[in-house]
Structure 1
Amino acid sequence: MASMSSNSTADVVCAPDDNLCIVREHLQAVIIVPTLLLLATLVTLLALLIMRYRPQRKRSRIASLQHPYHSSSHRHTQRHGHRHHLQGIDAPAGINPLEHEEVPMSVQQVQQNVRPTLAAVPQMSTGRHHGSFSQITALPLTFSIKPNDTVSLYRARMDNRNVILRMLKETANNSEKQHFLGFASFVSGLGPHPFLPELLGVVSVQPPLMMVVEELQHRDLLGYLWRCRQDNAGSESPCQMTEKRIFTMAGQVASALEYLHSQQCIHGNVGARSVLVGGDLTAKLWGLGSAYRRRTQAHSPGEVEDMEMRKWQAPEVLSRRPSGRSCDVWSFGILLYEMVTLGDPPFAHIMATELLQYLQRGKHLKRPATCSNSLYSIIRGCCHWRSDQRFSMSELIRTLQNGEKSANGRTVLRVPEPLDFEKYLREAGYGEAYNYAVL
């Protein structure tokens, strides 16, 4: 009816042949209303789409806000955990360059099974700025510190204590930066131990990158033993190395070595040159570069990187067979030999290249004149040809503790021969005589 009424109205208003007039009269019913209905439908569909996808975007936004690079609180948590997602030259495990952080190095607790990524598990940050150090002076090279094209060593004061700055040269390439920061993360991941030098911090925000390690007054044990030999030549001897002192210091090194083994870490470079001595004659095991290389190249068999290390290595290492913790026990026996002889090289009359054949014939270290039977029996128990017949670390520590109780603490060890540095280089197996200061 309405349609008929509308048509009739249009017929009344417009002439039968006036099409334009008829279209204007039917504009609202034919064009405007359908258009409004179409717009309403589109708006309704749009609203439904918004309602459908809005929760997903909200969840995505929440996840984005929880990403460590967007949330400061989560980033703080991330600093206290492993960072397996980091990759690239400037992002070894445990260091996040996107946070522009200084690596926290005060580690109070470390997982027993350290993953190959070696991420640190710090409890508080001790990151340092370059302005933290004063009285910085170059550290003279000694026999135990070989020149390094990428790292310089300095003495400095920090927080009223003496420290050593292991500084990466600014000419280092990306690979060397990766190695330097990776080594810092590795040492941090090992955690604190009373007989490992304390790692006080790492500067990683801006060059020069550096590791900060406590300084031990008497430096390396080999140099200390040589000074004992020289001091003992006089009437007064400020350096007093007794058999009891050997048992004490050896027990401290063995404790550190047992701890490293508990972290699934083989040291690989045990010797007097790798032990540092404090002012109170506390011995701390260092020289962890070989251990870091073993950890980062775990698939490769044990090898001797330098000829000068051969006389300290177990037969299985010399023959490039798979090596384990017992190799460190062998080297520990050589360390005892160095201590009781005040720094003599082992197997002095055997060329390093002939040592393996010498040992294969059943030969072994001779008993030094200054060595007691009890101490020599420990040396032999460490340096047994068969690895399964050497001391375990727990047996070794227990034997050292028992020996310390009855050891002579009064008689100072004396060696009649003065140190001949060139002779030492030859007998220790060094290929050439480096121009080091003997400090």
Structure 2
Amino acid sequence: MSNLSNPTYPCIAGNTLCVVLFHELELIIVPVLFLLTFLVTFIIVLVLKCSHKPSHHYRHPTNEKDVTQPRQSTNRHRNSNRRHLQGIDAPPELNPMEHEVIPMTVQTHHDVQSSSPAVPQTPTERHPGIFQLVTPLPLTFSVKQNDTITLHRAVMDRQPVILRILKQSDNARERQSFLGFAHFFAELGPHPSLPKLLGVVTVQMPLMIVVEELENRDLLSFLWRCRQDHTAQAAPCDMTERRIFAMGAQIASALEYLHSKNNIHGNVKARSVLVGRDLKVKLWGLGPAFRRKMDTGSAKDLDDIEMRKWQAPEVLAQQPLQQSSDIWSFGILLYEMVTLGAAPFPNIMVHELLQYLQRGNALKKPPNCSNTLYSIIKACCQWRPKDRASLAELNRKLQSGGRSTNDQTVLQVSEPLDMEKYMQEAGYGESVRTVV
């Protein structure tokens, strides 16, 4: 039946406008809805396709120069730094330009972890191409050879740095320990009296840890230089008691920070302190603290002969290391500073030291040491751990002493350095005999 014969049909014959309005739903609205649905679906599909498009493109190189690098601006910056490395005087295992074939894919932190135990990724990842002017850094004073780690001086972002480099090895345990130390150091966080961690290199071998360079190196060598005639040297090498108080306060602050992180240093001595150009000091020598974290209850570091003249009586008696054991060693460090690098207990053999202390003996007062400084040394080196001063108390005494002490009198030691004599007095090379 036609619409014209439908009694409900409102339009009369010939009224086109009425017909269009009556059929508006079928003729206009429904087609428009279909069109909108199609457009929305098309746009969604297009967005999803674009979002899955790879962000890096590589093409296979036909030779060393025919290499397409990732298009990120950071990698272009790295490549420019790599070009600056040509001609550096560096050993083959360090020189990243020795094998100029650039890998087709960038090795990620995950790739490194597949060949060594997992270490959490740090935000300080560096690329080896960023280092310039790389030169070997000989140790100023080394008792035993380290066959796994080498040190190099370099420049990164126009500032001097030290590269702590793991020698290339197939030993997965060494890689785990190296990367574990980097993570341990990063987790400590920044502190004014700890060296700055500036980066780690895990994207390719050799693995590296990058720390700031402190120009005057370790404190023990610095103290020995201060023994020499300074007529041809700059005055800042001269040590005064006020400088000892200032340096001591900085080291005590670093120790207090480590203790707040539930760490025991266990290696406090002049060799474990680094000296900057401005003569501010920073505590280093964190290897034993890291190894104790990894090997809970292990005493292998405590049996190290080169540390025993600095260890507290309870450690010499093979009892557990305590935070107060660091305070004893800190007192020995103050003794090293005021004597310009003399060995502690010079006339006592290592295997006799515990019995010597059991009899109530203590470090003798150096000739050029004030009563104020010597009282702080004695407050640290008390036989019973609970009788030793706290680090907070030591900090207050050191800051107070620094304000009142004379800064004009330069500490002097008439006796020149005799390395063989020092090694003997410090107990290096002496066999350990446990005294029960």
**Length-normalised TM-score, structure 1:** 0.70
Task: Kindly report which structure 2 residues correspond to 1:15-164, keeping only aligned pairs within 5 A, or say none.
Answer: 90-95=116-121, 103-104=122-123, 126-144=124-142, 146-164=144-162
Provide the residue aligned with 2:259 in structure 1: 261
Are 1:405 and 2:403 counterparts?
Answer: yes
The answer to whether the 8 Å contact 2:218/2:274 transfers is: yes
Provide the residue aligned with 2:223 in structure 1: 225
For residues 87 and 188 of structure 1, the distance between their equivalents in structure 2, rounded to whole angstroms, comes to: 18
- RMSD, aligned CA: 2.0
Per mean C-alpha deviation after superposition, the further-off stretch among 145-154 and 313-322 is: 145-154
Provide the residue aligned with 1:374 in structure 2: 372
Structure 2 letter corresponding to 1:218:
N
The structural deviation recorded for 1:94 is 1.7
Provide the residue aligned with 1:417 in structure 2: 415
Structure 1 letter corresponding to 2:217:
R
The answer to whether the 8 Å contact 1:144/1:273 transfers is: no
Distance 1:384 1:88, change over 3 A: farther
Task: Kindly report which structure 2 residues correspond to 1:192-203, keeping only aligned pairs within 5 A, or say none.
Answer: 192-203=190-201
For residues 405 and 284 of structure 1, the distance between their equivalents in structure 2, rounded to whole angstroms, comes to: 21
Provide the residue aligned with 2:304 in structure 1: 306
Distance 1:310 1:89, change over 3 A: farther
Larger Rg: 1
The structural deviation recorded for 1:294 is 1.3
For residues 145 and 166 of structure 1, the distance between their equivalents in structure 2, rounded to whole angstroms, comes to: 18
Provide the residue aligned with 1:183 in structure 2: 181
For residues 176 and 165 of structure 1, the distance between their equivalents in structure 2, rounded to whole angstroms, comes to: 17
Question: Structure 2: which 5+ residue stretches go unaligned?
Answer: 1-111, 431-436
Local SS of the residue matching 1:353 = helix
Provide the residue aligned with 1:389 in structure 2: 387
For residues 127 and 395 of structure 1, the distance between their equivalents in structure 2, rounded to whole angstroms, comes to: 39
Question: Structure 1: which 5+ residue stretches go unaligned?
Answer: 1-85, 96-102, 105-125, 433-439
Local SS of the residue matching 1:365 = coil
Deviations 1:45-71 (A, max 9, x none): xxxxxxxxxxxxxxxxxxxxxxxxxxx
The answer to whether the 8 Å contact 1:303/1:318 transfers is: no
The structural deviation recorded for 1:391 is 0.6
For residues 172 and 153 of structure 1, the distance between their equivalents in structure 2, rounded to whole angstroms, comes to: 20
Per mean C-alpha deviation after superposition, the further-off stretch among 191-200 and 141-150 is: 141-150
Distance 1:428 1:205, change over 3 A: same
Deviations 1:26-58 (A, max 9, x none): xxxxxxxxxxxxxxxxxxxxxxxxxxxxxxxxx
Structure 2 letter corresponding to 1:317:
V
Give runs of ≥4 in structure 1 deviating > 4 Å: 86-89, 232-238
Provide the residue aligned with 1:291 in structure 2: 289
Provide the residue aligned with 1:320 in structure 2: 318
Task: Kindly report which structure 2 residues correspond to 1:200-219, keeping only aligned pairs within 5 A, or say none.
Answer: 200-219=198-217
Local SS of the residue matching 1:231 = coil
For residues 219 and 404 of structure 1, the distance between their equivalents in structure 2, rounded to whole angstroms, comes to: 24
The answer to whether the 8 Å contact 1:268/1:327 transfers is: yes
**Length-normalised TM-score, structure 2:** 0.70
The answer to whether the 8 Å contact 1:302/1:320 transfers is: no
The answer to whether the 8 Å contact 1:303/1:320 transfers is: no
Distance 1:137 1:357, change over 3 A: same
The structural deviation recorded for 1:244 is 0.1
Are 1:168 and 2:166 counterparts?
Answer: yes
Provide the residue aligned with 1:342 in structure 2: 340
Local SS of the residue matching 1:322 = coil
The answer to whether the 8 Å contact 1:302/1:317 transfers is: no
Provide the residue aligned with 1:244 in structure 2: 242
The structural deviation recorded for 1:145 is 7.3
May I ask how many residue pairs the two structures share in their alignment?
319
Are 1:358 and 2:356 counterparts?
Answer: yes
Distance 1:280 1:146, change over 3 A: farther
Q: Percent identical across equivalent pairs?
A: 62
